[in-house]
Structure 1
Amino acid sequence: MVEKFLLLFSLAPILRGFIAMIVSGAAFPLCGVMVLRLNLVPMRYMLMHGVILGGAVSLAMNLPVVPVSIVINLILIVVMMLFTKNSKFGFNGGSSAAMILSMAAASVIMHIADVPAKDTLSLLWGSPFALTNVDLYVLAALGILLGLYIILNFKNIIALFFNREIAQSLGINVRFHYGVMVCVVALVVALAMKILGAFLIDSLLILPVLTSSVCEGKSSGGIKKLFVRSSIFGLLFSVAGYVLAVMINWPPAATISVVSGFVYILVLIVRKILK
């Protein structure tokens, strides 16, 4: 068993995937806290559709998927922030419109450039085995920047999570920090789509945060502990799921999702019993 493990993890695609799982498992849940606390779940769906559009553009122009997807998602974010500031429906309404237009544009591009739909829609599944060294560098840089941003701006983040108006009255540049966090979410979604795919992205983005919240219960753990616990759960989910997938020859993304979902349900059951 040990020899098989060492042999498999000596292969470059598997080793790159393992490194990516360590980084993403620890970093993505930090972003998930932002998604849930700032109510950015609808926007996340827009960004996932933006990655599909990025895939269509990159395949049509023979460009790398991740950088193109990141650029398109950042453009969508900028457009949303510029044109939905005073909208009655806010960011959620604008993100719904952008989601529809992204898929329409992707469909038109695939038709005009004769891009096979299966190639673009493969982004819905993702694979850590398909990551390149450049993808790892981008992922590592994003993880470091995300961690540094949270550490250096923790008080501002807490204020934004609590109430934007109060944060504004305290002299915090709410629009800047909100924009930074939204852009970070856009970058994470673009990379997570490449690693896990659209259907399984929440296994590292949302489930670790929900699991941490259930463990916290009614105790006053605070945002800091929520960040830390979510990161720990994400790391455990990603590493355990990835190693299990490699050893039993299952799809890594699906296995990670099974592990994270199982632990979340188990924690819910235990919490219910102990009440």
Structure 2
Amino acid sequence: MAARSPRRPAAPPTAPKSAQLSLFEPPPAPAIEGPVLLLPKLGLPYTLGRSRRRTIGFSVSTKGLRVTAPRWVSLSDIEGVLRTKSDWILRKWHEVQGREQRLAALRIDWQDGAELPYLGQALRLRLGAGRSARWDAGEGDAAPSLWLPLPAEATELQWREAVQAWLQAQARVWFAPRLAHFAERAGVAVPKLRLSGAHTRWGSASSRGVVSLNWRLMHFEPAVIDYVIAHEVAHLREMNHSPRFWAVVASLMPGYETQREALRDALVPPI
């Protein structure tokens, strides 16, 4: 979740219900009709969907190019438009391929010695004794380690569940004081904290004073986490994304733009 700019709340401005910060906003999935065609200039497969829309739309994914066109537009006209847009399509295709390569590099080999990002740094997973997980800061150039009480023959599922449980516990410890800090700066009551495991949202804020934060934020540097928390606290003052809202965010976290850009391009390990 590439992360893009937050979407506006679904409720009307006069009675807002919640505001959410997106991991990503996938393109709409039109009904696919007809054969899979080939774009000659790029050798890139594409599928064609027909809809009631008035213009021709494009979306590029790992499966290739998806084209959505009005029912009355001919195939030859569609391919003519594709040829004029081929440079843009090729650039987007390269971006998708690059993103897939970055995701592949983040995949974790669930065993003793594997690494994953934690607060912006590498964290090494180790098999440990005892009944609870233990974090070791490491010495010198050694990476911090997380010792997990797992059997030597632990399965991938056991590793994943143990790491997820530890990250969620750390998220509560980390988020709560930062939430209180920004609430005090914003002049609002400290909201109730809820952990989220959503794959499409970094966070959300309710007009009832509840802030949900994704525990996967623990992969990122503290400044990025602070931006998401400040963003959601700002919604307790402005349940929208108006200039007034962004002014509140800036008052809570000057220079937030850098962290917002980092979040937009962020990828997290598939845990």
Q: TM-score range by the shorter chain?
A: under 0.3
Superposition TM-score, scaled by structure 1 size: 0.22
Structure number with the bigger relative contact order (C-alpha 8 A, sep ≥ 6) is: 1
- Name whichever structure is richer in helix by fraction: 1
